């Protein structure tokens, strides 16, 4: 064969092979068609045959596609075809499952957010959305400490919920009552939320993320949020409010120190014991601002029990309830009662509720429930029925006529009934609309209380549960955390109440930890413990009162922008710092958080509270000052074995160095010498336009010698040195310029 002919044959073969390869590629392209939508810097891509979808943001992959099907209907994978041309920010798809079901899917993209809307042809079927996994993951509110630890091999409390899986995700499971299925991945810069108050499906792991609904309604809405945590929480806030799960502006009084009858007296509540206990606290210097009578105020007859006796008191125990309430109101306390949406079937208002159709129904008649509380059979208010809600509010007014102006909402023991997560939300919405104080305990996505109450937390429990539960609430958009009564509920007789050295340490540690939350409530009398224990408990309460104006200013910021300012876990505050991850667990016990941008909470807490004397404390970027000693430390370092004995304030000041504090009854701006240049906006407890503070000082690490303050008009403002801070009296709506001069000296680092 000639060389020319040989080269010709090889060329033909090569062309044939190339054609075969090209045809194979073309066939593959036909077999795996894809659709893409890109807008506002977010790119969505779906492989139509398998419904596998992914997101990129700013050209960077963020949410990766699942290994198999991305959308499942009734457990069957769904394939899609494009339904009409895609617009820049929206596209429609028609889907058919492998088992013949049908589903319409819409993708919508807005700045920092994407929404997937699934519309199954047959409602009531299960819908799941599946992508590849990501870790670490944070959120899940009460659920973070429920199923998570029964499914993981290591079985320890941890705010990282990677590995969580629940196909019956609903309130009422164990202690899960405050519910959010919002999950944030700060390292990867995205978060995910399927909005539905019925039973959901939630999995999150390094290999797979699933959110779904067990029984789909006409539309199933899944949201993805993209960006840094500030952007993500702002988008989360928008979705919550737009979906009817409202975030309300809280009220300042709830952020003071409180008192709870059940913690202080158990069931031994009456007008005399309550007045004596509260007045004893006040005489001892505890700055009480609110109180709860949550047990035994109802008439003795069983059908009148457990808060269903609206306006009806036990007059043997409370002979003059109006005078009692007025006594406390004269002491500037908000007076709150326990409140539930349950009605004992033989109670005084149940017949009317049944006759008018105001209770949840089964087969057309009012359903009778049995649960942990009330102990007798009961009906449940249909709070989503406007007429029923109006009726309920008229009953609430029977209590308000006595001067009651707040409520500890506390429906529980309904597990197994499959109730909606938002069964109480309409009631709390109305109470907040009317300006009542509300300690919220049940709810779905809403922040319709002044405080977000953690479940009962007692001496006999694993003490790592408390900080993990509190931080999980904050991650989930419930940062106004009330960590339950200091010391727990001794009156339940769940544990031996004899005073031991361990219990004395517990009361001190628990009080110091509680003081750094949005509110703290007193119960078991400090005067029943050793003098040193009582002293530390008092100091903790006074610390909380001191920083309450600053916490509240940040609570108002949360209500406006959704960011968890009052309790910001470090992975949210510093998502780019690898050192802040993997510390909020029962091994490391690095339970730290930011309060605003200026205070770093570092309580020594966990199940080793009675033996530990030190902690490894991590200081993020910046300059940090020990709250007690004034010693300065450079950030991005671990303070190994940092001494935190009972009685030492577990706080550092950093960031802007600007706080708002109650100093002897006056609310003052406090400027700590930690930032060379900073600007801060604060809201006073009484509200009004923000106070703006601009600080200019010497270079970082240089001690401050003197400080001058001028208002926006250039007038001098009186400034004083108080402890480690420079303080002045602010007025709403005023800009203050703080100029500091330095003195040559060596700061401790």
Helix intervals (H) in 243-306: 261-265, 271-283
Of the pLDDT bands very low, low, confident and very high (cuts 50, 70, 90), residue 146 is low
Q: Which of 570, 590, 589, 586 is nearest to 578 (CA)?
A: 570
Give the CATH number of domain 252-341+386-561; options: 3.40.50.720, 3.40.50.2300, 1.10.3720.10, 3.20.20.80. Answer: 3.20.20.80
Confidence (pLDDT) at 14: 41
* Average pLDDT across the chain, whole number: 93
Confidence (pLDDT) at 271: 97
Burial class (CB in 10 A: 0-12, 13-18, 19+), 677: exposed
CA dist., res. 640 & res. 648, Å (int):
17
Fold (CATH) for 578-653:
Immunoglobulin-like (2.60.40)
Residue of 381 and 19 predicted with greater confidence? 381
Confidence (pLDDT) at 307: 84
Q: Which of 360, 347, 353 is nearest to 414 (CA)?
A: 360
Confidence (pLDDT) at 154: 53
CA distances from residue 235 to 4, 149, 182, 242 in whole angstroms, order as listed: 69, 30, 12, 11
Of the pLDDT bands very low, low, confident and very high (cuts 50, 70, 90), residue 18 is very low
CA dist., res. 552 & res. 535, Å (int):
25
Percent of the chain with pLDDT strictly greater than 90? 87
> Is the predicted pLDDT of residue 178 greater than 70, yes or no?
yes
Helix (H) or strand (E) holding 60: strand 60-63
CA dist., res. 387 & res. 352, Å (int):
13
How, if at all, do strands 190-195 and 342-344 pair? Answer: unpaired
Per-residue model confidence as pLDDT tens digits over 72-115: 999 999 999 999 988 889 999 999 999 999 999 999 999 999 99
Architecture of domain 658-742: Sandwich (2.60)
CA dist., res. 274 & res. 293, Å (int):
8
Per-residue model confidence as pLDDT tens digits over 477-512: 999 999 999 999 988 888 888 999 999 999 999 999
Per-residue model confidence as pLDDT tens digits over 189-200: 999 999 999 999
Asked whether the bond before 211 is cis by omega within 30 degrees of 0, the reply is: no
CA distances from residue 457 to 175, 262, 465, 478 in whole angstroms, order as listed: 11, 13, 8, 18
Confidence (pLDDT) at 17: 38
Residues 6+ apart with CB under 8 A from 19: none
> Is the predicted pLDDT of residue 560 greater than 60, yes or no?
yes
CA dist., res. 627 & res. 649, Å (int):
7
Contact 640, 615 (CB under 8 A): no
Per-residue model confidence as pLDDT tens digits over 414-443: 998 999 999 999 999 999 999 999 999 999
Q: Across residues 267-291, what is the average pLDDT?
A: 96
Confidence (pLDDT) at 29: 39
Look up the CATH number of domain 34-242.
Answer: 2.70.98
Of the pLDDT bands very low, low, confident and very high (cuts 50, 70, 90), residue 305 is confident
Q: Across residues 615-623, what is the average pLDDT?
A: 97
Helix (H) or strand (E) holding 165: strand 164-169
CA dist., res. 334 & res. 329, Å (int):
6
Confidence (pLDDT) at 16: 39
Q: Across residues 692-702, what is the average pLDDT?
A: 88
Contact 413, 401 (CB under 8 A): no
Of the pLDDT bands very low, low, confident and very high (cuts 50, 70, 90), residue 742 is confident
pTM of the model: 0.94
Per-residue model confidence as pLDDT tens digits over 441-465: 999 999 999 999 999 989 999 999 9
CA distances from residue 696 to 659, 672, 679, 702, 745 in whole angstroms, order as listed: 16, 12, 9, 13, 19
Confidence (pLDDT) at 145: 86
Q: Which of 737, 721, 719 is nearest to 729 (CA)?
A: 719
Confidence (pLDDT) at 491: 81
């Amino acid at each position: 064969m000639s060389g020319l002919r040989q080269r010709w044959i090889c060329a033909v073969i090569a062309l044939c092979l190339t054609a075969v390869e090209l045809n194979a590629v073309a066939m593959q392209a036909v077999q795996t068609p894809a659709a893409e939508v890109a807008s506002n810097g977010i790119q969505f891509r779906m492989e139509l045959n398998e419904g596998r979808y992914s997101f990129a943001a700013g050209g960077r992959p963020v949410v990766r596609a699942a290994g198999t099907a991305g959308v499942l209907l009734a457990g069957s994978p769904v394939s899609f075809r494009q339904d009409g041309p895609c617009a820049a920010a929206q596209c429609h798809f028609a889907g058919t499952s492998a088992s013949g079901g049908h589903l319409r899917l819409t993708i919508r993209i807005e700045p920092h957010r994407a929404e997937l809307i699934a519309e199954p042809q047959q409602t009531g079927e299960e819908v799941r959305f599946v992508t590849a996994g990501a870790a670490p993951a944070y959120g899940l509110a009460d659920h973070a400490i429920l199923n998570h630890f029964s499914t993981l091999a290591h079985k320890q409390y941890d705010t990282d919920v990677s590995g969580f899986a629940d196909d019956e995700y609903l309130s009422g499971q164990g202690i899960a009552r405050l519910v959010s299925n919002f999950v944030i991945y700060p390292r990867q810069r995205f978060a995910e939320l399927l909005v539905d108050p019925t039973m959901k499906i939630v999995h999150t792991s390094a290999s797979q993320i699933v959110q779904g609904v067990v029984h789909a309604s006409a539309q199933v809405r899944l949201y993805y949020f993209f960006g840094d945590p500030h952007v993500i929480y702002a988008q989360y806030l928008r979705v919550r409010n737009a979906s009817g799960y409202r975030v309300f502006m809280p009220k300042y009084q709830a952020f003071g120190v409180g008192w709870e009858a059940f913690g202080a007296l158990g069931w031994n509540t009456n007008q005399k014991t309550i007045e004596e206990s509260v007045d004893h606290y006040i005489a001892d210097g505890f700055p009480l601002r609110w109180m709860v009578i949550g047990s035994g105020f109802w008439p003795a007859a069983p059908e009148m029990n457990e808060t269903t006796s609206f306006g009806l008191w036990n007059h043997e125990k409370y002979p003059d309830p109006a005078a009692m309430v007025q006594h406390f109101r004269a002491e500037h306390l908000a007076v709150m009662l326990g409140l539930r949406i349950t009605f004992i079937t033989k109670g005084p208002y149940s017949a009317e509720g049944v006759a008018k159709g105001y209770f949840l129904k089964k087969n057309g008649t009012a359903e009778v429930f049995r649960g942990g509380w009330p102990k007798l059979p009961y009906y449940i208010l249909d709070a989503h029925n406007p007429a029923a809600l109006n009726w309920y509010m008229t009953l609430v007014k029977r209590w308000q006529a006595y001067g009651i102006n707040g409520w500890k909402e506390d429906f529980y023991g309904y597990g197994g009934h499959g109730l909606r997560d938002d069964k109480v939300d309409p009631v709390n919405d109305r109470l907040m609309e009317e300006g009542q104080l509300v300690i919220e305990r049940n709810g779905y996505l809403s922040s319709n209380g002044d405080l977000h109450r953690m479940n009962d937390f007692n001496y006999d429990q694993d003490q790592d549960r408390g900080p993990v539960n509190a931080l999980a609430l904050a991650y989930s958009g419930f940062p106004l955390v009330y960590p339950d009564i200091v010391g727990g509920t001794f009156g339940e007789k769940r544990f031996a109440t004899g005073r031991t050295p361990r219990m004395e340490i517990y009361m001190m540690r628990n009080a110091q930890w509680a003081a750094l939350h949005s509110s703290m409530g007193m119960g078991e009398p400090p005067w029943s413990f050793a003098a040193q224990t009582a002293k530390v408990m008092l100091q903790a309460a006074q610390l909380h009162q001191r920083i309450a104006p600053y916490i509240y200013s940040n609570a108002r910021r949360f209500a406006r922008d959704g960011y968890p300012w009052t309790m910001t876990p470090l992975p949210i505050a510093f998502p780019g710092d690898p050192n802040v991850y993997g510390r909020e667990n029962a091994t490391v016990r690095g339970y730290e958080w930011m309060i605003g941008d200026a205070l770093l909470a570092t309580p020594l807490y966990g199940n080793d509270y009675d033996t530990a004397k030190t902690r490894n404390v991590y200081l993020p970027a910046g300059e940090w000052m020990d709250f007690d000693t004034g010693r300065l430390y450079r950030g991005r370092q671990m303070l190994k074995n940092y001494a935190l004995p009972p009685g030492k304030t577990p706080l550092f000041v950093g960031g802007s160095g600007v706080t708002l504090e109650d100093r002897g009854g006056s609310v003052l701006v406090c400027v700590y010498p930690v930032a060379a240049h900073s600007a801060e906006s604060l809201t006073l407890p009484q509200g009004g336009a923000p106070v703006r503070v601009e600080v200019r000082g010497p270079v970082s690490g240089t001690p401050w010698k003197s400080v001058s303050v001028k208002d926006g008009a250039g007038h001098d403002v009186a400034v004083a040195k108080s402890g480690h801070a420079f303080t002045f009296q602010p007025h709403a709506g005023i800009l203050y310029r703080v100029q500091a001069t330095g003195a040559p000296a060596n700061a401790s680092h």
